[in-house]
Structure 1
Amino acid sequence: MNRTDAVRSGRPFRVPGGLVPAVLGGFLLVYFALPFVAFLTRTGTANVLGRLSTPEAQAAVRNSLLTAPVSTAVATVFGVPLAYLLARTSFVGKRLVEGVVVLPLVLPPVVGGAMLLTAVGRFTPIGRIAAGAGVPLTGSLLGVVLAQTFVAAPFVVITARAGFGGVDERLEQASRSLGYGPLATFWNVSLPLARGAILAGITLTFARAIGEFGATMMVAYNPRTIPTRIWIDFIAGGIDTVVPLALALLAITLIVITAVQRFGRIPTVVEE
């Protein structure tokens, strides 16, 4: 029934329940998709394979493929236990800990990089000791890992915490009543049940790490990663020069997300 028919019959005209969300969400979806479409139309004007075969581009890809998985692994190993602690226990200062976890997400990455320099820069006590031991914390691949971990690790902590929060505590209590200790219960009950959320957090962490620019520029301008190389190419030659590496970065991210979705059965969006 259209609006005119409804008025003639004296019945109220009802807007379909999903129409308004669909229209509003559709505008945002178009806004998301438009830059991708516009960017991809420029690929025909760029020598993609030729530019990706340069030593500079290959070094940037290699450095990103090396550092991002390491940063993701570090964030996961330390972040998942922290997420479980925040989901299952109450302690003095918990709100402070939660704030510290969220802080890197709300800070501009460049500010985060500046903070890292004040903590581990080469003129700081930690930086001098590390450099003296032959392990510089800035201007190195280790510096890239430090920057990526700082800005990306909160994703796995926050997402995994939501996953653990959705696990029925009675299942953990049943495991403990059967004689399993805290670690065995965590490994055999909590972790598998929160698996989807944890995988979502790992995926988001990797995507954030491999695309990290601001903090990396501050802490480790050299060696180049894909984002820093993209910035240098853009300054030197404009949009067309960054198309090849941008496509490589997009392809790497999509491959990882697709692989995790396929083999890890991760939800596209973290399920409630």
Structure 2
Amino acid sequence: MSLGTGLQSRHSKRSTELLIPALLGGLILVYFALPFVTFLSRTGTTNIVAALSTPAAQGAIRNSLLTAPVSTAIATVLGVPLAYVLARRSFPGKRLVEALVILPLIIPPVVGGAMLISAVGRFTPIGAAAAAVGLPLTDSLLGVILAQTFVAAPFVIITARAGFGAVDERLEQASRSLGYGPLSTFWNVSLPLARGAILAGISLTFARAIGEFGATMMVAYNPRTMPTRIWVDFIAGGIDAIVPLAVALLGITLVVLAAVQRFGRVPTVIDK
């Protein structure tokens, strides 16, 4: 048997081995794509621009575009340092910290919202104190930010930790040996080298925040964000009533998807 024939035989065998996995995978891909296709087919019967020009829709868009970046910034400023500590240090209680990071991802969002209300609701010490100085933590934009940050922050922490974990510690040690302190090393060495994962995590955090519904509905049903406005419109008018805002939210999500693909692969679990 010639070399070329052997290679063709192995390639054919490999293709046959992948046939069943490919067919099964194709079924789930069709399942993913079908809702998009059928939903977007409704856009031809709706004046999206006119619907998005209504005061209710514009208010929801404005609230979402105001709160989601703030939530993302809070998650990034507080979460990236935590991610670095988790990537570089072992300490008592580390598994508990990791569990606390993952917990908001796995509990139902409405349960997370209920937990937030029990902590910062208007009848709690924290909530009452905040309301007394004119900063209510529920039924306000602050409440929206609290809900978004709670459910979305784990994304940037998890991805940033994986990014820092992939950085060769010898490079940080070399920086320290040249006289740079811990903060300078973090800022000039660790952070740039983990930048791709961090930016991907920031993108995912923003997407999760702007699309958050369950916790937001519990903590701050008013003022409306895009997801809560979609729910109200669906109750009042069905699927066709939500097409404009849903398409706008989908457009934002697609932009985030492009950003994530640009910055690289994003891990979904904390590496042990």
1:26, distance to aligned residue in structure 2 (A): 2.3
Q: Which amino acid aligns with 1:14?
A: K
The secondary structure found in structure 2 opposite 1:139 is coil
Is 1:215 aligned to residue 215 of structure 2? yes
**How do residues 36-115 of structure 1 correspond to structure 2 at under 5 angstroms?**
36-115=36-115
Structure 2 residues without counterparts, runs of 5 or longer: 1-9
Q: Which amino acid aligns with 1:55?
A: P
1:23, distance to aligned residue in structure 2 (A): 2.8
Aligned residues of 1:148 and 1:210 also touching (Cα < 8 A): yes
Aligned residues of 2:138 and 2:220 also touching (Cα < 8 A): yes
Is 1:181 aligned to residue 181 of structure 2? yes
Give the aligned partner of residue 30 of structure 1: 30
1:74, distance to aligned residue in structure 2 (A): 0.4
Structure 1 residues without counterparts, runs of 5 or longer: 1-10
Give the aligned partner of residue 267 of structure 1: 264
The secondary structure found in structure 2 opposite 1:38 is helix
Aligned residues of 2:87 and 2:162 also touching (Cα < 8 A): yes
**Structure-2 change in CA distance of 1:51 and 1:27 (3 Å):** same
Aligned residues of 2:83 and 2:158 also touching (Cα < 8 A): yes
Aligned residues of 1:196 and 1:270 also touching (Cα < 8 A): no
Aligned equivalents of 2:129, 2:91: Cα separation in 1: 34
Aligned equivalents of 2:31, 2:180: Cα separation in 1: 51
Give aligned pairs, total.
258
Aligned residues of 1:233 and 1:241 also touching (Cα < 8 A): yes
Aligned equivalents of 1:190, 1:80: Cα separation in 2: 11
Q: Which amino acid aligns with 2:199?
A: L
Aligned equivalents of 1:255, 1:204: Cα separation in 2: 11
**How do residues 228-239 of structure 1 correspond to structure 2 at under 5 angstroms?**
228-239=228-239
Aligned equivalents of 1:80, 1:20: Cα separation in 2: 42
**Greater alpha carbon shift after TM alignment, 103-112 vs 38-47:** 38-47
Give the aligned partner of residue 138 of structure 1: 138
Aligned-residue sequence identity (percent) comes to 76
Aligned equivalents of 2:14, 2:195: Cα separation in 1: 40
Aligned residues of 1:57 and 1:229 also touching (Cα < 8 A): yes
1:82, distance to aligned residue in structure 2 (A): 0.3
Aligned residues of 1:42 and 1:243 also touching (Cα < 8 A): yes
Aligned equivalents of 2:146, 2:260: Cα separation in 1: 27
1:60, distance to aligned residue in structure 2 (A): 0.2
1:257, distance to aligned residue in structure 2 (A): 4.2
